[in-house]
Chains A and B, each alone.
Chain A
Amino acid sequence: SAVISQKPSRDICQRGTSLTIQCQVDSQVTMMFWYRQQPGQSLTLIATANQGSEATYESGFVIDKFPISRPNLTFSTLTVSNMSPEDSSIYLCSVESQGGETQYFGPGTRLLVL
């Protein structure tokens, strides 16, 4: 299985500011995913990030609000821009395994926007 780390693990931010979340994987992966999980809820896919191309965003999520970078096969960032209290959530990165047979999750970033 892939070893995935995220930074920061948690943060408290003021509304109107932006936060960039980093996701590092210990092996090269083709597909990386960014999810949002609000308390007691399921996993909502924000976007899929492939190296060398623009991220693909799901309905309800836009690049201006959640810009994503994918500079190489082991790293990605998600920025939550112009934050509001509604953005308070856990943000998880996830990777497809090497053979494409399954998916693993990072530890998550707990974000609280005041």
Chain B
Amino acid sequence: GENVEQHPSTLSVQEGDSAVIKCTYSDSASNYFPWYKQELGKRPQLIIDIRSNVGEKKDQRIAVTLNKTAKHFSLHITETQPEDSAVYFCAEWGGSYIPTFGRGTSLIVHP
């Protein structure tokens, strides 16, 4: 990977609202896009991922979409809950076989 931009850096929502985090990348060889959730004081945990041959993937309240033409992918969390509060990192793997991480988004869900 070369460069991954992640926005926003902070996202504050009310419980029950949806949250969307977006990442853009530059390496056209990128073919794997995982998302990690890191709670305070804990390790990053893989929550969902998508490969370049798929446009969308869902797992309960979490979904990821990928637009290879525009080189961006997004994490969507619906019906947010306070326990969704954490820092979320996007990443991409490409031809270099070394993952590149975004800067992270601090999601705060207010009860």
Check if A and B associate.
yes
Residues in A lying within 8 Å of B, measured CB to CB: 1, 31, 33, 41-43, 45, 48, 92, 101-108
| Known pairs A48-B98, A101-B32, A103-B34; A42 contacts B43 (CB<8 A) | no
Contact B46 A42 (CB under 8 A): no
Chain A residues with CB under 8 Å of B98's CB are 45, 48
Q: Chain B, interface size: which category?
A: 10 to 19
B103 on interface, CB distance cutoff 8 Å: yes
User: Of A33, A45, A106, which contacts B43 at CB under 8 A?
Assistant: A106
Chain B residues whose C-beta falls within 8 Å of the C-beta of A1 in the assembled complex = 46
Asked if B43 and A92 sit within 8 Å, CB to CB, the answer is: yes
Of all A-B residue pairs in the complex, the 9 with the closest CB atoms, nearest first, are: A105-B43, A42-B103, A43-B101, A105-B44, A42-B104, A107-B43, A42-B101, A108-B43, A102-B34
| A-B contact list, 7 entries, CB within 8 Å | A41-B103, A42-B102, A102-B32, A102-B46, A103-B34, A105-B43, A105-B44
CB proximity of B51 to chain A, nearest CB, Å: 8
